Structures are given as structure tokens and as C-alpha cells.
Chains A and B, each alone.
Chain A
């Protein structure tokens, strides 16, 4: 191990890790928003919306995230969509993770006992009120675990955007592996920073899940 190398390059990696963190956070927020819409569409009364929601999930989960990013970033200009690498990364990752999150949300909502809805309707709550005041508060707790798993996967998935030249952690590691000829030190720095984020998020999910668990 050559630690003077670590000292020389670590600032580049900290900066790159911040980009990875930003990508993760923004894609997470976009993912939550789109997932809520898709889950709502999948559970709607309108058949066309249900179909559109199901198609969204099937297409985004049935094809690689890498290809989705390439279509958006390299193919986009052909249909008039010109995005900066970072923006394309956030949108591509967000739309991809939304498909997985939507299924987690739907699963949580469906696993709230039907009797809750029936009871709420029978005492005069409307459909929206029932959803908002009775079902969702209970479903929200059940969503923590699946959405948490998706988010951990998302943090690792951000590495993909190095292929559309976003200068994040994996891109930086690749560049320094090529120029320093010290693959294991470079991998070590990048791995350490990833693990801080990945296991940090995983720990947060555990704490939240335990705090709001239904016992």
C-alpha cells in the first residue's frame, strides 16, 4: 500500500463522492415522485391508467438501466432532448428506480387489511379521505423497508452514469486506476467512500424501520 498516493488524490475522491451523493439524493426524490404517480395509476379505476402504470413498471424493470441511460443521453438529441450528463443521470436513474419503488408502494398499500377500508367507508369517509387518513398512514410504515432496499441499490447504481461522463466516484476511480497504476489503493479509496454511503443509508433504513415498526 502506498499511502502518499492516497494523500495526493483523496480530495478528488471526496469531491467525486459528493457528486455521487447529489446524484443519489436527486434521483431518489424524482423516483419517489414518479413512483407515487405510477402506483396511483396502477391502482386507479380507469383501465387505461392501470395499463399505462403496468407498462411503465414492466418496461423499466424489464430492460437494463444502462440502456435506459444511453437512450436518454445519446438517443435523446435525435428526438430533440438535449441534456447535460448530470441532468440525464438524475432523470435516467430516477425514472428507473421509480418503477421499483412504485411496486413497493403498491405492495404496502395492498397489504393494509381490507377491513380498514371497509370500516372507514362505513362510518362515512369518502374514498380519498379513506386513503389519506386511514390506509396511507398504515401503508407508509410498510413502505420503509422496500423503498430503503431500492435506495441502497440506487446509491450503487449511480456508478452507471460514469459511462455518460458524469465525473462521479466510479469515473474518478477509473481515471486514476489508468494513470497511477495502483489499482488496489484507488479501488480502496473509492470502495471506502461508497461503503460509507451505502451502509450509511442501509443503517438509516434500519433505524427508521425499527422506529415505525408496527408491533
Chain B
């Protein structure tokens, strides 16, 4: 048992900042992917012909029933073995993005179904095509109504991004591990990393609250 000494952290501030930066990059890009991927999946499940809708439903069912960590192993280590070599960062973004796209798709689907059918009928009767009706009338309203749960998924995504440390992306957890491998001070570095996640989480929650208030006002 050794005492705790947080002064060991200071010389490694640079690497931790790099970790924070990559955690932000991962979270933002995977969130974008999960947002638009979620809308796409929801639309395919609801409106596409069965040949397309069925595989997407199967994919969603598979991804909702298994852990993100297992999915990352499949994408990163699995695809390499069948000759598809993607860089760790891309694997991390795709894995996180697809995992949460599936959860967002479930929310968007419910949101789209909940939009009054009169909206679509009115749009069609003033001459909008099917695609235009979805694009300009139905989906925007559904996205607005589901801002809260989709925002909640983004908060989960920020925290779950820690998992991609296992495939060697130098985000916050992996940055802490690099420092620990030189100092043998896991408690101090992981605690500092946890504090940094906590701050990132507060910032994200603050941002989401502002977006939600905007959305409330525009309704």
C-alpha cells in the first residue's frame, strides 16, 4: 500500500489533454453518425420494401441484444481477419456510431409513427411528393419531439466512448493508461480521468439543455 500523491499527474497533463481532445472528437463524430444513421434506419424500417427493411431490422435486433465491447471486437479484430483493414479510429467511430444509431432509430421510429397522419395527408394534398413529405414535414417534427431521449443517448455515448480504449485509440482512458504504465499510479490517473469525464458530461448536458429549450420554443 502506497499513499496517494496527485502531484504525479501534473507532468502528464499534456497526454491527458490529448486524451480529452480525442474523446471529444470521437463523441462528436460518432454522435453525428448515430443521429443520421438513426434517422436512416428508422425510415428504412418504416417505409422501405421488405428486402431492405428486414435486414435492417435484423441488424438492429442483433446490435440491441449484444454489448458494445463485443461489437467493437467484431469490427476491429474481426474485419481485419477477413481482409478489411480499417484504422482503429475509424473502427471506434463506426462501432460507437452504429451502436447508438440503433438505439436512436428505435426512438425516431416511435417519433415518426406518433406524428399525426393529417400532417402527411395535408402535405400530399398540397402537392408534396412522398419523399418531400418525409423530408420537410414528418421527420423534422419527429426529430424535434424526440430531442430529449436522443440527447440522453448522446450522454451515454460520451461515457461509452471510454470503451474504445481497448482497441488502442488514445482517448482519455488510454491516455491515462499510458501515464500509468510509466508511473504505476492507477488510482490518481483514473480518478483524474473520471473527473475530466465528469466535466465533459456537465458541458454536454448544458449544451443539450440549451438545444432542448430552443426546440421547446420553436414548437
Distance in angstroms from A68 CB to nearest chain B CB is: 7
Is there an interface contact between B66 and A75, defined as CB atoms closer than 8 Å?
A: no
Residues in A with CB closer than 8 Å to B66 are: 156, 190-191, 194-195, 198
Indicate if the CB atoms of B187 and A75 lie closer than 8 Å.
yes
Docked complex Cα distance between A77 and B66 (Å): 32
B69 touches A67 (CB 8 A): no
Which B residues are in CB contact (< 8 Å) with A80?
A: 1
Proximity string of chain A (61-77) to chain B, C-beta cutoff 8 Å, 1 when within and 0 when not? 01111111011001111
Tell me the chain B residues, 160-219 only, with Cβ under 8 Å from chain A.
160-163, 165-166, 173, 180, 185-188, 190-191, 193-194, 197-198, 201-202
Contact of B70 with A64 in the complex, beta carbons under 8 Å = no
A187 proximal to B (CB < 8 A):
yes
For residue A134, CB closer than 8 A to chain B, the reply is no
B residues within 8 A CB of A43? none
In which size bucket is the chain B interface? 35 or more
Which of B74, B193, B197 is the one whose CB lies under 8 Å from A62? Answer: B197
CA distance A27 to B77 in the complex (A): 29
Q: Are the CB atoms of B1 and A170 closer together than 8 Å?
A: no
Task: Indicate if the CB atoms of B69 and A170 lie closer than 8 Å.
Answer: yes
Assess the B166–A68 pair: CB atoms within 8 A. Answer: no
B1-A78 in contact (CB<8A) = yes
A162 to B193, CA, bound (A): 20
Report Cα–Cα, A173/B66, bound state, in Å.
Answer: 12
| B82 CB–A CB distance under 8 Å | yes
Any A CB within 8 A of the CB of B78 = yes
State the CA gap A181–B83 with chains docked (Å): 11
Does A174 sit at the interface, judged by CB under 8 A?
yes
> Which residues of B are found within 8 Å of A123, using beta-carbon distances?
none
Among residues 30 to 86 in chain A, which have CB atoms less than 8 Å away from a CB atom of chain B? 59, 62-68, 70-71, 74-80
11 contacts between A and B (CB under 8 A): A62-B197, A64-B160, A67-B173, A71-B194, A157-B67, A159-B68, A181-B81, A187-B70, A187-B74, A191-B70, A194-B66
